[in-house]
């Protein structure tokens, strides 16, 4: 049984602390205590004033922030071993008892059965609704099983699959979805997060207004609406890296991820980081280690990049009219799902050198950042590079796609087929998948076409079609399921990006990266489809 361990920061170089640093270290605990007392006073006063006015999401979020702050400050004074030692003792005791009485195979099967029973019982325990009949939930559940089974029978090493990891990953994904869809607290938290993300990223308007003018900023042009938000968020991410916030989040979450899912530290860090910094930048976190990774680890790193979107592009989709709550939920659900699917398709068969990695490496070039203003400027540089990459990909891929569609349309005229396009052809191929993930029957072709657009072009083009051409035509259920199915970087343009980045960082592994790329692309796509099928079960 894995024990809970503490990840640490990667100490690149030791520097003698300054006098101000020594003074801060001396007074830190006193400052924390004073801060907690002041925050507690603010918290009590806020609740005393606001509670008589009724419940609000802001009160819930404030309560969660206060709880987290209190626990964080508590463990600044008290070692966390008072929790981890009893927890590990209980887990190891239970594990020892079970392992003595039952074989590993029996325990694995028992856990898989428990997960299946919990999912089935939960899905069909909720009352039937017009937009969510039980037959539609049954179809989505059947699709969930079919997608997992299909991945297993095509596995590179089916006998090496660690089913405990797969079962736990799918269970975590389902619990996260259940928390959002069927819990008022979970719904309120993610609704607030979606509102906050939309409002926060919306501040990029003031920058674009200053640069382009009020008329251009309000024109609704894709580039002017979306690209400033990407530059703004990239700048914020670099500032948070300079302050150590991103490393702190990664350190905590990667420990949980590695412990529960039995994956290497390098894998857990990159997987957790993907929704924050994107499918290419995440690899920079473990740049020195890439050359030592096993094929399974490389496959999983690429898969998690394909299965999620990055925070820097989030506002672009929101600006199109896509549900921010669905996007955020899909990103989080795809973390355990991408791990499970990748380990099912390409399980570990080699000895991992980075299995017990406990450090969170610093971000590329972060050691040379002198202050927070410098960090903001470097973030803007990263943002503009992302913007140009997106713009170049959109121009190239959409031009090529429409050129090929022009040829198909010309060829189709000889067979009296009107408007024959690649999206139409592959859209019909994806109709069974759309049915399996729970899309309403009347929308199967439309959603299949959107899924094809996402694969051949990218998710930007697919979301643009969904919010423009199919707005009001899809049912609420079909639109929600499609939002989850499209929420990822799994497209052929991203394949080139990931292969290029990883091959540059580790030239000696370029052959392995190229061989695993298409498999990882398929697994990233499957991850978004599995998230969509769970949404189809619980909507």
Q: Comparing C-alpha atoms, which of 536, 497, 534 is closest to residue 517? A: 497
For residue 9, list its beta bridge partners. 360
| Residue indicated by tokens 């609406």 | 225
Q: Are 422 and 401 in contact (CB under 8 A)?
A: yes
Mean pLDDT of 482-490: 92
For residue 359, list its beta bridge partners. 8
Mean pLDDT of 398-411: 87
Residue 293, token pair as written in the block: 């990774």
Nearest-angstrom CA–CA distance, 506 and 290: 6
Which residues are CB-neighbours of 22 under 8 A, at least 6 positions away?
Answer: none
- How deeply is 281 buried, as exposed, middle or buried, from its count of CB atoms within 10 A (0-12, 13-18, 19+)? buried
If you ran DSSP here, which 8-state letter would residue 352 be given? Answer: -
Q: Are 341 and 521 in contact (CB under 8 A)?
A: no
pLDDT at residue 266 greater than cutoff 50: yes
Which residues are CB-neighbours of 184 under 8 A, at least 6 positions away?
Answer: none
Number of H helices and E strands in the chain, helices first, is: 23, 2
pLDDT tens across 215-242, in order?
888 887 878 887 888 888 888 878 888 8
pLDDT at residue 408 greater than cutoff 80: yes
Looking at per-residue pLDDT, the higher value among 434 and 131 belongs to 434
Cα Rg of the chain, angstroms: 24
Q: Comparing C-alpha atoms, which of 78, 12, 69, 8 is closest to residue 254? A: 8
Mean pLDDT of 156-181: 92
Residue 266, token pair as written in the block: 């390098």
E-assigned strand segments in 314-383: 359-360
Q: Helix (H, G, I), strand (E, B), or coil: what is residue 129?
A: strand
Which residues are CB-neighbours of 68 under 8 A, at least 6 positions away?
Answer: none
pLDDT tens across 427-484, in order?
889 999 999 999 999 999 999 999 999 988 888 889 989 998 888 899 989 999 999 9
pLDDT at residue 313 greater than cutoff 80: no
Q: For a pLDDT cut of 90, what percent of the chain falls above it? A: 31
Q: Could you tell me what percentage of the chain is helix, strand and coil, using 3-state DSSP and rounding each to the nearest 5?
A: 80, 0, 20
H/E stretch holding 8 reads: strand 8-9
* Phi, psi for residue 64 in degrees, rounded to 5: -65, -40
Sorting pLDDT into bands at 50, 70 and 90, what band is 499?
confident
Task: Sketch the domain layout of the chain as residue ranges.
Answer: 22-78, 90-125
Which residues are CB-neighbours of 383 under 8 A, at least 6 positions away?
Answer: 230, 231, 232, 233, 234, 235, 312
Looking at per-residue pLDDT, the higher value among 320 and 436 belongs to 436
pLDDT tens across 321-359, in order?
888 888 888 988 888 999 999 999 999 998 877 766 655
CB burial string 373-386: b at 16+ within 10 A, e below: eebbebbbebbeeb
Sorting pLDDT into bands at 50, 70 and 90, what band is 497?
confident
Q: Are 343 and 164 in contact (CB under 8 A)?
A: no
**The pairing of beta strand 359-360 with beta strand 8-9:** parallel
Nearest-angstrom CA–CA distance, 445 and 242: 47
pLDDT at residue 10 greater than cutoff 50: no
Residue 112, token pair as written in the block: 């898989």
Determine the straight-line distance between the first and last CA of the chain, rounded to whole angstroms: 35
Residue 381, token pair as written in the block: 């540089």
Residue 406, token pair as written in the block: 């022009």
Strongest mean pLDDT among 292-296, 378-382, 412-416 = 292-296
Residue 237, token pair as written in the block: 């991410």
At 444 the pLDDT is 93
Which residues are CB-neighbours of 535 under 8 A, at least 6 positions away?
Answer: 177, 181, 326, 438, 480, 481, 484
The DSSP string of 191-240 is: HHHHHHHHHHHTTHHHHHHHHH-HHHHTS--HHHHHHHHHHHHHHHHHHH
Q: Are 351 and 292 in contact (CB under 8 A)?
A: no
State the Cα torsion 147-148-150-151 to the nearest 10°. 120
If you ran DSSP here, which 8-state letter would residue 282 be given? Answer: G
């Amino acid at each position: 049984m894995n024990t809970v361990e503490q990840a640490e920061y990667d100490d690149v170089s030791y520097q003698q602390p300054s006098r101000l640093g020594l003074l801060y270290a001396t007074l830190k605990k006193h400052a924390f205590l004073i801060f907690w007392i002041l925050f507690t006073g603010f918290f009590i006063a806020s609740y005393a004033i606001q509670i008589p006015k009724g419940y609000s999401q802001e009160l819930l979020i404030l309560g969660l922030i206060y709880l987290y702050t209190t626990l964080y400050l508590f463990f600044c004074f008290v070692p966390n071993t008072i929790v981890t030692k009893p927890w590990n003792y209980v887990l190891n005791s239970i594990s020892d008892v079970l392992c003595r009485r039952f074989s590993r195979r029996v325990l694995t099967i028992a856990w898989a059965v428990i997960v299946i029973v919990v999912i089935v019982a939960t899905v069909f325990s909720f009352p039937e609704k017009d937009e969510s009949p039980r037959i539609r939930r049954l179809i989505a559940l059947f699709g969930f099983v079919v997608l997992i089974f299909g991945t297993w029978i095509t596995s590179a090493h089916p006998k090496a699959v660690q089913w405990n990891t797969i079962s736990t990953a799918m269970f975590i994904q389902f619990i996260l979805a259940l928390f959002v869809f069927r819990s008022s607290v979970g719904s309120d938290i993610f609704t607030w997060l979606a509102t906050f993300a939309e409002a926060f990223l919306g501040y990029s308007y003031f920058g674009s207004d200053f640069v382009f003018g009020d008329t251009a900023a309000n024109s609704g042009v894709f580039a002017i609406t979306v690209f400033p938000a990407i530059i703004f968020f990239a700048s914020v991410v670099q500032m948070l890296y300079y302050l150590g916030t991103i490393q702190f989040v990664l350190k905590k979450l990667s420990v949980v991820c590695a412990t529960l899912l039995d994956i290497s530290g390098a894998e857990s860090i990159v997987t957790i980081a993907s929704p924050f910094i994107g499918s290419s930048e995440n690899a920079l976190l473990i740049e020195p280690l890439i050359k030592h990774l096993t094929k399974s680890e490389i496959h999983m790193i690429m898969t998690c990049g394909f299965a999620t979107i990055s925070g820097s592009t989030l506002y672009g989709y929101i600006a199109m009219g896509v549900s921010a709550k669905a996007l955020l939920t899909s990103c989080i659900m795809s973390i355990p799902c991408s791990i499970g699917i990748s380990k099912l398709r390409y399980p570990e068969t080699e000895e991992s050198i980075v299995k017990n990695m406990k450090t969170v490496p610093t971000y590329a070039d972060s050691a040379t950042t002198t202050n927070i203003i410098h960090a903001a400027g470097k973030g803007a540089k990263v943002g503009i590079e992302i913007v140009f990459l997106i713009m170049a990909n959109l121009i190239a891929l959409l031009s090529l796609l429409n050129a090929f569609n022009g040829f198909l349309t010309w060829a189709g005229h000889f067979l009296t087929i009107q408007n024959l396009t690649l999206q139409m052809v592959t859209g019909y191929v994806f109709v069974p998948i759309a049915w399996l993930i729970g899309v309403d029957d009347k929308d199967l072709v439309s959603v299949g076409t959107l899924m094809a657009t996402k694969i051949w072009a990218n998710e930007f083009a697919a979301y643009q079609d969904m919010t423009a051409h199919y707005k009001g035509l899809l049912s609420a259920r079909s639109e929600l399921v499609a939002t989850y199915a499209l929420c990822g970087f799994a497209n052929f343009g991203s394949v080139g990006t990931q292969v290029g980045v990883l091959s540059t960082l580790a030239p000696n592994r370029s052959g392995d990266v190229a061989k695993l790329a298409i498999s990882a692309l398929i697994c990233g796509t499957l991850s978004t489809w599995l998230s969509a099928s769970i949404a189809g079960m619980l909507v």
